[in-house]
Chain A
Amino acid sequence: MTSSFPEEVLEHVLSFLTSQTDRNAVSLVCKTWYETDRWCRNRIFVGNCYAVNPRILIRRFPDVKSIELKGKPHFADFNLVPEGWGGYVYPWVVELARAYPSLEEIRLKRMVVTDESLEMVAKSFNNFKVLVLSSCEGFSTDGLAAIAANCRNLRVLDLRECEVEDLSGHWLSHFPDSFTSLESLNMACLVSEVSFSALERLVARSPNLKTLKLNRTVPLEKLSTLLKRAPQLVDFGTGAYSAEFRPDVYSSLAGVFSACKNLKSLSGFWDVTPAYLPVINNVCSQLTSLNLSYATTQSPDLTKIVSQCCNLQRLVVLDYIEDTGLNTVSLSCKDLRELVVFPSDPFIGDVDVQLTEHGLVAVSEGCSKLHSILYFCRQMSNSALIQISKNCPNLTCFRLCIIEPRAPDYQTLEPLDTGFGSIVQNCQHLTRLSMSGLLTDRVFEYIGTYAKNLDMLSIAFAGDSDLGLHYVLSGCDRLRKLEIRDCPFGDKALLANASKLERMRSLWMSSCLVSFGACKLLGRKMPGLNVEVIDERENVNSIPEYAPVEKVYIYRTVSGQRFDAPDFVRIMGKDKDAVYNLS
Chain B
Amino acid sequence: MSVPLEHDYIGLSDASRSSDSSSNITSVTETQPNSVLNFKATELSLGLPGFSKNGGPTIMLGAKRGFADVNLDGSGKWALKGGSEAQLGGFEKSQTLTPDVKPAEDKKKGSGSAPPSAKAQVVGWPPIRSFRKNTMAANSSKNADVTEGNLASGGCLFVKVSMDGAPYLRKIDLKIYHNYTELSKALEKMFSCFTLGNGVKGREGLSESNLKDLLHGSECVLTYEDKDGDWMLVGDVPWEMFIDSCKRLRIMKGSEAIGLAPRSMEKCKNKI
| One of A83, A408, A434, A518 near B169 (C-beta < 8 A) | A83
| Chain B residues at the A interface, C-beta cutoff of 8 Å | 16-20, 22, 25-28, 36-39, 41-44, 49, 55, 60, 63-64, 66-67, 70, 72, 76-78, 90-91, 93-94, 97-99, 101-105, 107, 109-112, 114-119, 122-132, 135-136, 139-140, 142, 151-156, 158, 160, 167-171, 173, 189-190
CB-CB < 8 A to B28: which residues of A? 517-518, 520-521, 545
Q: Are B126 and A496 in contact (CB under 8 A)?
A: no
| One of B38, B72, B103, B118 near A496 (C-beta < 8 A) | B38
CB-CB < 8 A to A548: which residues of B? 94, 97, 99, 101
Q: Are B55 and A348 in contact (CB under 8 A)?
A: no
| Residue with the highest number of chain A CB atoms closer than 10 Å, among B26, B36, B132 | B36
Interchain CA distance A98-B272 in the complex, whole Å: 58
| One of A438, A466, A542 near B110 (C-beta < 8 A) | A438
Chain B proximity of A482: nearest CB distance (Å): 15
Interchain CA distance A460-B105 in the complex, whole Å: 13
| Chain A residues at the B interface, C-beta cutoff of 8 Å | 75, 77-80, 82-84, 135, 161, 163, 189, 270-271, 293-294, 296, 342-350, 376, 378, 401, 403-408, 410, 413-415, 434, 438, 440-442, 449, 458, 460-461, 464-467, 470, 474, 485-488, 490-492, 495-500, 511-513, 515, 517-518, 520-521, 525, 536, 538-539, 541-542, 544-548, 566
Kindly report which residue of chain A lies nearest to residue B80, judged by CB atoms.
A492
| One of B39, B109, B112 near A495 (C-beta < 8 A) | B39
Q: Are B63 and A407 in contact (CB under 8 A)?
A: no
Chain B proximity of A75: nearest CB distance (Å): 7
Interchain CA distance A509-B63 in the complex, whole Å: 21
Q: Are A347 and B115 in contact (CB under 8 A)?
A: no
Chain B proximity of A141: nearest CB distance (Å): 14
Say whether, besides A496-B67, A513-B101, A545-B25, A350 and B115 are in contact (CB < 8 Å).
yes
Q: Are B44 and A467 in contact (CB under 8 A)?
A: no
Chain A proximity of B126: nearest CB distance (Å): 5
| One of A434, A440, A449, A498 near B76 (C-beta < 8 A) | A440
Q: Are B112 and A499 in contact (CB under 8 A)?
A: no
Q: Are A464 and B77 in contact (CB under 8 A)?
A: yes
CB<8 Å pairs between A and B, sample of 15: A163-B130, A294-B136, A345-B140, A346-B126, A465-B76, A486-B102, A486-B122, A495-B42, A513-B99, A518-B91, A542-B20, A542-B22, A547-B99, A548-B99, A548-B101
Q: Are A498 and B39 in contact (CB under 8 A)?
A: yes
Q: Are B101 and A403 in contact (CB under 8 A)?
A: no
| One of A271, A378, A441 near B139 (C-beta < 8 A) | A271
CB-CB < 8 A to B139: which residues of A? 270-271, 294, 296
Kindly report which residue of chain A lies nearest to residue B127, judged by CB atoms.
A78
Q: Are A77 and B63 in contact (CB under 8 A)?
A: no
| One of A406, A486, A520, A538 near B16 (C-beta < 8 A) | A538
Q: Are A161 and B49 in contact (CB under 8 A)?
A: no
Chain B proximity of A351: nearest CB distance (Å): 10
CB-CB < 8 A to A511: which residues of B? 101, 103
Q: Are A344 and B171 in contact (CB under 8 A)?
A: no
10 extra A-B contacts, CB within 8 A, seeds A449-B55, A461-B105, A544-B93: A403-B126, A407-B115, A467-B72, A499-B42, A500-B63, A513-B94, A513-B97, A544-B25, A546-B26, A546-B94
CB-CB < 8 A to A270: which residues of B? 135, 139
| One of B17, B41, B93, B132 near A342 (C-beta < 8 A) | B132
Q: Are A79 and B124 in contact (CB under 8 A)?
A: yes
Say whether, besides A79-B130, A189-B131, A539-B18, A465 and B115 are in contact (CB < 8 Å).
no
| One of A77, A378, A466, A541 near B127 (C-beta < 8 A) | A77
Q: Are A460 and B125 in contact (CB under 8 A)?
A: yes
Chain B proximity of A151: nearest CB distance (Å): 25
CB-CB < 8 A to B124: which residues of A? 75, 78-80, 485
Interchain CA distance A201-B253 in the complex, whole Å: 44
Q: Are B19 and A539 in contact (CB under 8 A)?
A: yes
Q: Are B129 and A78 in contact (CB under 8 A)?
A: yes
Chain B proximity of A9: nearest CB distance (Å): 38
Interchain CA distance A236-B116 in the complex, whole Å: 40
Kindly report which residue of chain A lies nearest to residue B27, judged by CB atoms.
A545
Say whether, besides A485-B124, A548-B101, A541 and B19 are in contact (CB < 8 Å).
yes
Chain A proximity of B18: nearest CB distance (Å): 6
Q: Are A490 and B38 in contact (CB under 8 A)?
A: no
Interchain CA distance A296-B138 in the complex, whole Å: 12
| One of B22, B76, B171 near A442 (C-beta < 8 A) | B76
Chain B proximity of A505: nearest CB distance (Å): 19
Interchain CA distance A467-B69 in the complex, whole Å: 13
Kindly report which residue of chain B lies nearest to residue A492, judged by CB atoms.
B37
Kindly report which residue of chain B lies nearest to residue A498, judged by CB atoms.
B42
Interchain CA distance A512-B97 in the complex, whole Å: 12
Chain A proximity of B176: nearest CB distance (Å): 12
Interchain CA distance A349-B124 in the complex, whole Å: 16
| One of A348, A460, A546 near B90 (C-beta < 8 A) | A546
Interchain CA distance A342-B131 in the complex, whole Å: 13
Q: Are A496 and B63 in contact (CB under 8 A)?
A: yes
CB-CB < 8 A to B39: which residues of A? 495, 498, 521, 525
CB-CB < 8 A to A378: which residues of B? 115
| One of B18, B25, B38, B119 near A347 (C-beta < 8 A) | B119
CB-CB < 8 A to A490: which residues of B? 94
| Residue with the highest number of chain B CB atoms closer than 10 Å, among A347, A434, A487, A488 | A347
CB-CB < 8 A to B136: which residues of A? 294, 296, 344
Interchain CA distance A517-B30 in the complex, whole Å: 11
Chain A proximity of B153: nearest CB distance (Å): 8
| One of B22, B91, B151 near A515 (C-beta < 8 A) | B91
CB-CB < 8 A to B129: which residues of A? 77-78, 135, 161
Say whether, besides A77-B129, A342-B128, A406-B109, A461 and B17 are in contact (CB < 8 Å).
no
Q: Are B44 and A492 in contact (CB under 8 A)?
A: no
Interchain CA distance A6-B158 in the complex, whole Å: 60
Chain A proximity of B63: nearest CB distance (Å): 5
Q: Are B126 and A376 in contact (CB under 8 A)?
A: yes
Say whether, besides A467-B78, A542-B20, A497 and B128 are in contact (CB < 8 Å).
no
Q: Are A84 and B168 in contact (CB under 8 A)?
A: yes
Q: Are A347 and B154 in contact (CB under 8 A)?
A: yes
Interchain CA distance A189-B67 in the complex, whole Å: 49
Kindly report which residue of chain B lies nearest to residue A376, judged by CB atoms.
B126
CB-CB < 8 A to B170: which residues of A? 82-84
Interchain CA distance A347-B126 in the complex, whole Å: 8
CB-CB < 8 A to A460: which residues of B? 125, 127
Say whether, besides A474-B64, A538-B189, A405 and B104 are in contact (CB < 8 Å).
yes
Say whether, besides A78-B127, A349-B115, A474 and B78 are in contact (CB < 8 Å).
no
CB-CB < 8 A to B36: which residues of A? 491, 495, 518, 521
